Amino acid sequence: MPFPESFDNFYYERENEFTVSALRSIILNPSHYRIAVIFAPAGMGKTHLLKACANESLNLGERAVYISSLRILEELISAYRERRKPNFEFLRGSKVILIDDIHILKGRGFALEFLARLMDKVESSGKILIMAGQGNPSQFSDSPSFKTRLMSALKLGINPPSRKVREKIFISACKRLGIDPPRRLRDFVVENVINPRGIIGSANRLGAYFEVFRSFPDDPSEILGDLVEMEDPFKIFGRGKVGKYLTAYYLKMKGKRAEEIAGILNCSRASVYNYIKRAKEILQKDEKLREKMEGRKLL
């Protein structure tokens, strides 16, 4: 049975174009790459992309199986306790195997060894294996065989979505709920909530609030405050001298107090005020940097 998740309803722009294109290519033309692993933080869309791969395979008439690492772990433990061979027959008839949450197998050497053997079988049988998890390959040091096999797999990541993509996710979630929050709430969410799962959660909370009160909250932080995330400003503007100035200004526009900014930048309050002044001077002269700042609705 097809999953509702597809490549068409995974919203992205250039920040994740490579990852989506690579996964599609593996499914459509697996001659070169047969094993891939997606590493990304929770809520970024790993499961969505795995299930999109399953749907793409089904559209091609190929059998695909999606499985959680927890199910693999439970079967291996049950087989050991019952003194029998693990039963993974359902994997044999599938052309595409999709395994989610491999990070939960950290420290479970026997389960990682199973994945290592599965990777070998995939390579020799012409199947496709795509796994997903949080963290990175270095966490699997308790299973050298699995860790080294990951080195030859195609490693993919999911970058935080752009503001435009965040807005698409929020609008789509609101349409599904049948609500139309005012622009001020939409702006609050797409500017302050970075994680896609958090964006969907924001829509769900606003939907529940509207269902009860037949209106939307005046102060969005009242029900959405814990979902607000601060982008790492150093990743945006760099750690050089100019980057410090712009970071100070960015944090000020995000509502941070001078004391907080001083702590983040490891400088004095007086320096914070000076950095903000210098940032304004730079932004007046540098159009590219001004556009970068404007892209975050700060000017």
Q: Give the per-residue pLDDT at 231.
A: 63
Q: Is the pLDDT of residue 296 over 70?
A: no
Mean pLDDT for 265-290 is: 88
Structural domain harbouring 243: 233-294
Q: Is the pLDDT of residue 217 over 60?
A: yes
Q: For residues 178 and 268, state if they share a domain.
A: no
Mean pLDDT for 39-68 is: 94
The pLDDT confidence band at residue 3, using thresholds 50, 70 and 90, is confident
Burial of 247 (0-12, 13-18, 19+ CB in 10 A): buried
Backbone angles phi, psi at 133, to 5 degrees: -170, 170
Structure tokens belonging to residue 280: 């304004």
Q: For residues 31 and 113, state if they share a domain.
A: yes
Q: How far apart are CA 65 and CA 58, in angstroms?
A: 10
Q: For residues 134 and 22, state if they share a domain.
A: yes
Q: For residues 152 and 33, state if they share a domain.
A: yes
Q: For residues 24 and 54, state if they share a domain.
A: yes
Q: Above pLDDT 70, what percent of the chain? A: 96
Q: Dump pLDDT digits (tens) for 100-137.
A: 999 999 999 999 999 999 999 988 888 999 999 998 88
Q: Give the per-residue pLDDT at 115.
A: 95
Q: Is the pLDDT of residue 28 over 80?
A: yes
Q: For residues 39 and 141, state if they share a domain.
A: yes
Q: For residues 102 and 146, state if they share a domain.
A: yes
CATH of residue 215's domain is: 1.10.8
Q: For residues 45 and 141, state if they share a domain.
A: yes
Task: Name all contacts of 174-179 with Cβ < 8 Å and 24+ positions apart.
Answer: 174/203, 174/206, 174/207, 176/203, 177/203, 177/204, 177/207, 178/207, 179/203, 179/206, 179/207, 179/210
Q: Give the per-residue pLDDT at 51.
A: 96
Among 157, 186, 214, give the residue marking a domain's end: 157
The pLDDT confidence band at residue 1, using thresholds 50, 70 and 90, is low
Mean pLDDT for 204-233 is: 87
Structure tokens belonging to residue 35: 């094993």
Q: Give the per-residue pLDDT at 297.
A: 47
The pLDDT confidence band at residue 73, using thresholds 50, 70 and 90, is very high
Domain count, the chain: 3
Q: For residues 215 and 105, state if they share a domain.
A: no
